[in-house]
Structures are given as structure tokens and as C-alpha cells.
Structure 1
Amino acid sequence: MKRLLPVLLAMALPAAAAAEKPLWEVGAGVGVVSLPSWRGADESRNYLLPLPYFVYHGKFFRADRRGVRGVLFDSDRVELGISVSGSPPVGSARNSARAGMDDLRATGEIGPQLDLTLWRSASHARNLKLILPLRAAFTLTGSPDPIGWVFSPALNFDVTDMAALPGWNLGLRSGPIFATRRQHAYFYDVAPSEATATRPAYQAGGGYSGTQFIAALSKRFPRYWVGGYLRYDSLAGAAFDDSPLVAQQRYLAAGLGVAWVIGESATRVTVDD
């Protein structure tokens, strides 16, 4: 379930090559997402959720296909900004593996992100970037508690000029995830008081958190947008892969969405993504 919010936002934000575009666009739609209750859980949940469509191409604040972020520095090849992420709550009563344990509260993450453009085509319709986000994590409900740090470097390849599917945008992203022990403990520790005959006490270590591969496809029509994604997650070799709360080390997650564009700015800006 972790990182459901950024996945939904990425689904609803279009890719863009260099062009004159509205300063902002707004709309709304609906998304359907199927995810395990947490990374490694063998019980999945399907979510029917509102899908916000918001695009803003400002100098210091941007909302686009790479998420909602603040931009602290931007050059032809280097961009330094602020990255945010998060996850919704998980009720333990609805998941047999966590029965009798405390619920997982909603979490938020925020921190700096450095984007390095490694290659781009002459038209800027294809580009390969190295993305380096480092975020502090904390719970959101009740009194916020810090729950460690997450570092998720990734290679991101965007294509906006596919000959086989004119007008469609393809995004591919892959990379490992690393986190502190405190972050892993929040999702995978089992306290002695929570141990059962089939769920022994467990304490996770920090370090490698697995690898994700994400493919997303989307198209902006004149008045609406459609898109979807497929994510493959591998937890093999993760610092917590022997936790009793990890029932599967490899799995797929997917989502589809549609959003209608309600309005856009009359002001145009040059967007070079």
C-alpha cells in the first residue's frame, strides 16, 4: 500500500515535451488501484478513489508527471527540489496477518530530491533521468511520530513520441529502495506482546528495502485524460524479507484512471520536461 498517493498523482499528470502550455490546468476524475495491504502482504485491497488532476508549471512550484514539488534550483541538466510521498492507513482488523496488532497509521514523507538528466533526444520527447529523493517519514494521524528515512534512487525514462501509439506517453522507472531500521520497524516488526504461534516476535534491520519497476501509459485528449500503470515489486534480499508479515517477495500492482479537464489558464509558458 505504501506510496499509493504519489502513484495516483503520477497517473493523473501528463508527460510533456518542450512546448507552450497553460500555466495551470485543473480537473477531477476517478482511479481504481489494486495493491497489497502493505509491501509483502498476501492480502490485496482494491481502492476506488477520487483522482485529482492538477498541473502547474511555475518557476518554484510545479505539479506535473513527476509529482508535486518545490523547485529550489533548475538548470538544463540538474534540478533540485522538494519531494513528498505518503501512504494511507491500514486497519489490522481487516488483515489476518496483523490481527491483534496496532493499526498502521497514515504516513507522510518529505525531503529533498535531486534530478539529473543523463540523456535526452534533440526534440526533448525522450529523456533518461537519475532521480535521487531522500525523505523523512512520519505518521499523520494523532500526534505525528518520526518513523525513519527513505532513500529511493531510480532511473526514469519518458517517451512522448511513440510512433505505434500517437499521442500516448510512456514512462518507465526502476530502482532500489533503502530505509532506516525505524522505517522498517514500523511496517514489519512484531513485538513480543504481539507474537502468536504463527507470528513470532521479529525485529527488522535497516538497509535494502527491495526494488520496484513501474511502467505507466497515458494520453491527454482535448477535454479528458486516461492512464494506467503496472508495478512489479521484488522484496528478495530486503532487510525485512524474513519478517512474518512478509508473505510474498514478488508481486504485481496496477491502477487505471480517467480525469476530466475542467479549466486551464489563459497564460502560456514554455515547458521543457
Structure 2
Amino acid sequence: MRRRRGCGALALVAAAFGTTCAAQDLDEVERPLWEAGLGLGGITLPHYRGSDQRASLLLPVPYVIYRGEHLRADRSGVRGKLFDSDRLELNVSLGLSLPVKSGDDDARRGMPDLKTAVEIGPSLNLTLWHSDSDRTRLDLRLPVRLALTVESPPRAIGWIFSPNLHLDIASVGGLAGWNLGLTGGPLFATARYNQYFYAVEAQFATAARPAYAAHGGYAGSMAMATLSRRFRHVWVGAFVRYDRLNGATFEDSPLVRRKNALAAGVALAWIFGESATRVPSRE
């Protein structure tokens, strides 16, 4: 049976960008059923993919581990474990799009605000290769998520498909405990999803912002690196992400003002509680 290790993607990153990363440990041992902690994270990112304006946020970062038989919560977020084999996993993946007040963004000024949107759907993960020691793994991940606005009532705004390759390296460069994750791939979205972010209805058109109808299809590409380490009662992590919109079906939208952008963040969490109940786990 395969052995797992900690990939260490920030919960903040997984939520904000919809990435998935299965936390892994090398050996199956008795671990707490749950662990809890709280920390602080800083992130800088564009208002939305394609915006030429940025937001810098300081946010609380919850640290929650739950090692249930079918439900797992770890540094990558909440995962329902639907299917597992030596090479193939089917998980529930989650994501999040942050809100944008149009009054704070020049390109969207006068248009409706972008609501917070949660994303949920299945992710099929296939292990393509791993080293003999299982300290290095290459996975193909195929997450498909439905995006829903956080409002009353919620509104479905379309689907996102983000196939990607993920390389996970434990104790990278001989640094014990430091785990590196490298992820990259294209993004695809339905017309409804792209309309929500990049369409300009006639009533909001101006001389500098003509009416625009977005179509579904290729939505650019992304590459991301994460680095993290778990100490006894402290977890630290960082990420950097690059987005490229060249060739996207909506690249000529007047709301797309920058086709290349970086996002980055760091976080630190203190782990202050754990269950007395122990369960055998590699995660």
C-alpha cells in the first residue's frame, strides 16, 4: 500500500484559488482523530483574474485536521473520501472566490459587485509516478467544481474544470520536514461562469468599457508552488501563484486589463488542541 506525506498547501490558498492537495505522511501510525489550531495569514492577489489592481489581506487561518474514515479535513481543506486505491482517488474538492467591491476596481466601477463564491465538486486524482521511498510523487488531478455565490438565496454561476499535474517532494533539498508542492495546468470554464466575471451588459457599457458577452472554453493557465513545515505545535507555509490569460476565450473583455499576474501568501498557525482518541492514519 502506498505511503503518504504532508504536501502542506495553505488552507488559505486552497480556498482562495480552488486548488486541491492531499496531505500526506510517510508512515501509518496512531494519530489524533482531530487536531485544532488557529493562526494568521497574509495574502496579496489581483482583485480577480485579469484585474490590474490588487488587494492585500490579513486573514485568520484556521488549522483543522480530522481523520475520519470517510471524511478528512486537513491543510488542503475538507475532503470527502469517496474512493481510494493504490493509484486512484476520488475526492470532494472545495474552492473559494473572494468578493470584489466594484467601487474599488476601476475596470468594474458602476457595475454590480462580485460576491464571494464557493466551489464544490469531485476531483479524480491519478498517481502517475512515485519514487521508491515515496518521498516524491507526480499526480494528475482532474477537479470539476460548481461555483455558488454566498448570498440569500445562493446562485449557481457555472462550472470550472482545472486539470493539473502536481509534483510533491518531501524533505526537499535535504531539509527535513520541509515539503514542496509544484502544480500547473490549464483552466476551463462554462460560458455562465465567464459571463459572471467578464461580461459587460449594455446598461453598464461606457465609452471606455463597451458591452461584451463572454463565452465558455479555455480560461488561461496557472502554475503554483507551495512550501510548508509542521513543527510540534506550529505549522508554517507559503505559496506563490502565476496566472496567464493569453489565449483565454474572454481575453478581449474590457474587464481584462492584465493577462499575467502573481499572487503570494504566507501563514503561521499554532496547534493548541487534539483528540485523546487515536486512529491509524497516514494523513
- Indicate the TM-score class for this superposition, using the shorter chain for normalisation: over 0.9
Counterpart position of 2:167: 157
Structure 1 residue 193: Cα displacement: 0.7
Counterpart position of 1:81: 91
Counterpart residue type for residue 125 of structure 1 = R
Whole-Å Cα distance in 2 between the matches of residues 72 and 11 of structure 1?
15
Contact persistence 2:98–2:117 (CA under 8 A): yes
Counterpart position of 1:266: 276
3-state SS of paired residue (1:238): coil
Q: Equivalences for 1:141-152 in 2 at 5 Å?
A: 141-152=151-162
Counterpart residue type for residue 197 of structure 1 = A
Contact persistence 1:79–1:114 (CA under 8 A): yes
Counterpart position of 1:40: 50
Superimposed CA distance per residue, residues 141-174 of structure 1 (whole angstroms, 9 cap, x where no aligned partner) = 1221111111111111111122442221101111
Whole-Å Cα distance in 1 between the matches of residues 17 and 66 of structure 2?
17
Percent identity, aligned pairs only, is 50
Whole-Å Cα distance in 2 between the matches of residues 129 and 170 of structure 1?
14
Contact persistence 2:147–2:156 (CA under 8 A): yes
Alignment counterpart, residue 6 of structure 1, candidates 3, 9, 15 = 15
Counterpart position of 2:66: 56
- Answer yes or no: is 1:118 the counterpart of 2:125: no
Give the TM-score normalised by structure 1. Answer: 0.92
Counterpart residue type for residue 170 of structure 1 = L
Alignment counterpart, residue 104 of structure 1, candidates 104, 114, 118 = 114
Give the TM-score normalised by structure 2. Answer: 0.89
Aligned length: 271
Contact persistence 2:21–2:76 (CA under 8 A): no
Structure 1 residue 261: Cα displacement: 0.5
CA RMSD of aligned residues (A): 2.2
Structure 1 residue 68: Cα displacement: 1.4
- Answer yes or no: is 1:95 the counterpart of 2:108: no
Counterpart residue type for residue 92 of structure 1 = S
Counterpart position of 2:6: none
Counterpart position of 1:246: 256
Whole-Å Cα distance in 1 between the matches of residues 229 and 16 of structure 2?
16
Structure 1 residue 55: Cα displacement: 1.4
Contact persistence 1:18–1:270 (CA under 8 A): no
- Answer yes or no: is 1:177 the counterpart of 2:187: yes
Contact persistence 2:14–2:77 (CA under 8 A): no
Counterpart residue type for residue 274 of structure 2 = E
Counterpart position of 1:232: 242
Contact persistence 2:16–2:96 (CA under 8 A): no
Whole-Å Cα distance in 2 between the matches of residues 58 and 131 of structure 1?
23
Whole-Å Cα distance in 1 between the matches of residues 155 and 264 of structure 2?
30
Long gaps (5+) in structure 1: none
3-state SS of paired residue (2:58): strand
3-state SS of paired residue (1:63): strand
Whole-Å Cα distance in 2 between the matches of residues 154 and 176 of structure 1?
7
Whole-Å Cα distance in 2 between the matches of residues 218 and 4 of structure 1?
12
Whole-Å Cα distance in 2 between the matches of residues 83 and 181 of structure 1?
21
Structure 1 residue 185: Cα displacement: 0.3
Q: 1:121 to 1:22 in 2, by over 3 A?
A: farther
